[in-house]
Chain A
Amino acid sequence: MLKTKTVAWRRSPLLESATPCQITVDGHLIAAVAGECLATALAAGGYVALGASPGGRIRGVFCMMGVCQQCVAEVDGIIRPTCMVVVREGMDVRLSLEALS
Chain B
Amino acid sequence: MTEQAFDLAVIGAGPAGAAAAIEAAQHGLSVALVDEQTAPGGQVYRAPVHSAVAAGAEGIRLRDRVEASGVSHFRERTVWHVAQGFTVSCVSAAGVERVSAPRLVVAAGTVENVLPVPGGTLPGVIGLAGATILLKAHGTIPAGPTVVAGVGPLVYAVAAGILAAGGQIAAVADLAGPRDWAARLPALASRPSILAQGLRWMAEIRRAGVKLRFRHTVVAVDGKRSVTAVLLAPVDRTWRIRAGREETVIADSLAMGHGLVPAGEIAQALGVEHVFRAEAGGFVPRLDDFQRSTVAGLYLAGDGAGIAGAEAAGLAGRLAGLAVARDAGMLEERAFEEKARPVQRALARAARFGRAISALMAMRPGLLDLVAQDTVVCRCEDLDRAVIEGAAAAGAQDLNQLKSSTRCGMGPCQGRICGEFAARILARHHGVNREVIGLWTARAPFRPVPLDSLVGAFEYADIPKPTFDPR
Q: Which residues of A contact B (CB under 8 A)?
A: 2, 4, 6-12, 14-15, 17-18, 33, 35-37, 40, 43-44, 48-55, 57-70, 72-73, 78-79, 83-84, 86, 96, 98-99
Contacts and interface: CB of A to CB of B under 8 A. Distances in A.
Taking each of A10, A44, A96, A99, which has the highest tally of chain B beta carbons within 10 Å of its own beta carbon?
A: A10
Given A18-B52, A65-B133, A79 B226 contact: no
B464 interface: no
10 contacts: A10-B167, A15-B140, A49-B225, A57-B382, A62-B127, A63-B112, A67-B413, A68-B417, A70-B379, A72-B412
A78 B52 contact: no
B52 A14 contact: yes
A49 B226 contact: yes
Contact of A12 (B53, B129, B376): B53
B144 interface: yes
A12 B139 contact: yes
B382 A63 contact: no
Contact of B225 (A2, A12, A96): A2
A38 to B, nearest CB: 10
B225 A36 contact: no
Contacts of A9: 134, 140-143
B431 interface: no
Contacts of B5: none
A36 B124 contact: no
Given A58-B225, A60-B226, A61-B126, A36 B49 contact: yes
Q: Give the interface size bracket for B toward A.
A: 35 or more
Interface of B is mostly: loop
- Nearest 6 pairs of A and B residues by beta carbon: A60-B123, A55-B382, A64-B130, A48-B123, A12-B139, A69-B412
Interface of B: 36, 38, 43, 49-54, 78, 111-112, 114, 121-127, 129-131, 133-134, 137-144, 165, 167, 225-226, 252-253, 376, 379-382, 411-413, 416-417, 447-448, 450, 467-471
Contacts of A49: 123, 225-226
A44 B140 contact: yes
Contact of A40 (B51, B138, B471): B138
Contacts of B413: 67-69
Contacts of B127: 62-64
Contacts of A98: 471
Given A79-B467, A86-B49, A64 B133 contact: yes
B140 A11 contact: yes
Given A60-B226, A79-B469, A40 B140 contact: yes
Given A48-B124, A66-B36, A12 B140 contact: yes
Contact of B53 (A15, A68, A78, A83): A15
A58 B127 CA distance: 17
B124 A60 contact: yes
B143 A10 contact: yes
B50 A96 contact: no
B378 to A, nearest CB: 10
Given A8-B142, A68-B413, 12 more contacts: A4-B226, A8-B144, A36-B49, A48-B225, A52-B471, A53-B380, A58-B123, A59-B123, A62-B126, A63-B112, A69-B380, A78-B450
B471 A99 contact: yes
